[in-house]
Amino acid sequence: MTDDRDRLRALLPSWEARPRAAAVAGELAGVPAVAIADLVLDDDEPFWRRESCAQALVGRVPAERATALVAHVCDNEVGYKVGRALVAALDVPGGPYSGTLRTRALERGNYYVAELLGARALLDAASSGDATALGLLAVMASSPWRHLRVSGEEAIDELIERRGLPALLAMLGTDSPEGLARTGTRPAERLLGLRLVWRAGGDIAPSLGDESALVSRRAYDLLIAGYGEDAPLLAMVEEGRPGFLWALPILHERGHGIRPMWKRLGSPRVEVPGVPPDMREAIVREYTPGQTGTDPLWLIEAALLDPPPSPDEARESQDERLRAACAALAGAGLDPQEPVPVGRHMHSGNGTYHVISTDAGTVWVSTLGPYVAVPDDARAASALRDAGFLRVDGELADTTFTGLAVYFFGSRDPLTVRDLVFYWQD
C-alpha cells in the first residue's frame, strides 16, 4: 500500500503538476483502485491530488471502498472540487452506487451534494417518478445559500408544470400541501409544503411549531413580513400551542403589547452567565434576528428592548469612545495612531470595531459599547480601565451566546462574546 501511495504522489507531485493529470491517466489506471480510493479518503493529502485521484475512479470505484466514499462525500466537509469529482465517479446512471449516494444525501439533508448532482439532472429524474430525486430538489430548495435555494425552487416549479401538483404530492406520500407541511418525512419536505401552502394563500402559522428550525424560522420570516392574520397567532399564544414563542415577536411587530403575555409565561430568556446587561443588550440589538437556528427567545428579547438611539446619537457615542480611548492611551505614553475601522484595516469587509495602533501593539475598540481588546501590556490595560472601558478577555471573551446564530465565514452557529463584540466579515 505504501508503494502505491508513493507512486500516486510521484505521478501527482505538486499543484503545478496537476494539469498533467490527464497525461498520466494511463499510469493512474495501473494503480489499484483501492489505493486510489484510500488516497481520496485521506484528508491529510492535498485537495488537488485527491481531486485527480477521484477523477481516476470514474468507472472503477472499488466495491470494498464504495460505502466509505459515499459517506465521505455526504457526511463530511469535502471541498467542492474533490466532492464534484467524487460525485461524478459515484453517480453513474445505472451504476451500482448512484442510488446509495442519493439516498444517503437525502437522509442527511445535504444540499451540497444536491448541488453537485445538479438541479437539471434531479429534475429529469423526478419527472420520471424518482421520489429520491424530488427529495433532493427539496433539500436544495432548503439551502441557506440563495443560489441553491432558487435553483431548487425553480426546478420544483418546473416539475409541477410538467407533472402537476397532485403527482408531486403523491411522490412525497401525501395529497395536500397542508399535509406535506404537517407530516413530511424530512424538514426539507415540510418546508416545501409550507411554501406551497403560502403560495396558495393558506394558513402557515402551524409551521411555527415545527420541530425543525429550518421550517419554523421560514414561517416566522414570512409572517413577520406581514403575511397572514393575527387571530391564529393570538390563539397559539393563548393556548400555549407549539410555536407560541415564535408568535410573540410577530405579534409585537403587528402592534400588540406582548410583555404581559411574556410575563404570564414566566419571562423566559436564554441565560448567558457572566455577560454584563449592557453588553447583552448591545449584542441583541446588533445581531437579532440572526440566522436560521436562532432561538425565538432572542427575538422576543429584542422586541422588548427600549427603542434604540438615533443613528446620529449612536455615531456620536462611538466617536466619544474613540476619543476617550485615544486620550487614555496617549496619557499612558503609548502614542496611539488614528483609529481605523476594521474593514479598512483589513482592506475589505466591515465589522464592529476600530483598530488603534500603539507602541504596545494594536488596541480594538468596539462600536457596540465601551469594550476593548488590549495587548498584554499593563499600561494600556490600566489606562483604558481607568477611562471606563471593559477589557474583553478570559472567560468573558470565550462565553458563547447560546442559541443566537450569526453568519461568520460560511458558518451560521452561535459565536463567542469576543467574535460578536469584535466582529469582522470579509
Parse the chain into domains and list their residue ranges: 2-199, 205-303, 311-425
Q: Kindly indicate the confidence band of residue 383, based on its pLDDT and cuts at 50, 70 and 90.
A: very high
The span from the CA of 96 to the CA of 87, in Å, is 13
pLDDT tens track for 317-347:
999 999 999 999 999 999 999 999 999 999 9
Indicate the pLDDT class of residue 16, thresholds 50, 70 and 90: confident
Whole-number Å distance between alpha carbons of 294 and 266: 20
State the residue for C-alpha cell 452506487: 97
d(CA 170, CA 160): 12
User: 361, 349, 363: which is closest to 423 by C-alpha?
Assistant: 349
Rounded Cα distance, 293 and 406, in Å: 9
- Reported as type and span, the H/E element at residue 95 is none
Question: How far apart are alpha carbons 99 and 212 in whole angstroms?
Answer: 26
Does residue 289 have a cis bond before it (omega within 30 degrees)? yes
CB-based contact 18:12 (threshold 8 Å): yes
Distance CA 413, CA 151 (A): 25
- Contact indicator for 319, 332 with CB cutoff of 8 Å: no
Please check whether residue 398 is in contact with residue 391, taking contact to mean a CB–CB distance below 8 angstroms: no
Q: Give residue 403's region: left, alpha or beta (phi > 0; psi -120 to 50).
A: left
CA 53 from centre of chain: 30
Give the torsion sign (CA, 87, 88, 90, 95).
positive
- Provide φ and ψ at 424, rounded to 5°: -140, 135
Mean pLDDT of 279-283: 98
- Cα angle, residue 294 at apex, residues 194 and 271 outer, rounded to 5°: 140
Confidence bin at 28 (pLDDT 50/70/90) = confident
In this predicted model, what pLDDT tens digit does every residue of 220-252 receive, in sequence order? 999 999 999 999 999 999 999 999 999 999 999
Q: Fold for 2-199, please state it.
A: Leucine-rich Repeat Variant (1.25.10)
Give pLDDT, residue 30.
87
Rg (CA), the chain: 27
pLDDT at 20: 60
Confidence of residue 75 (pLDDT cuts 50, 70, 90): confident
Q: Is the dihedral of CA 115, 116, 117, 120 positive or negative?
A: positive
CA distance 197 to 204: 7
Question: Residue 407 — φ and ψ, nearest 5°?
Answer: -70, 130
Q: Using an 8 Å Cβ cutoff, are 142 and 151 in contact?
A: no
Phi, psi of 23 (to 5 degrees): -70, -30
* Other beta carbons less than 10 A from residue 132's beta carbon: 19
Which pTM value belongs to this model? 0.90
Q: What is the per-residue pLDDT for 21? A: 57
* 209-220 tens-digit pLDDT: 999 999 999 999
74 in Cβ contact with 29 (< 8 Å):
no
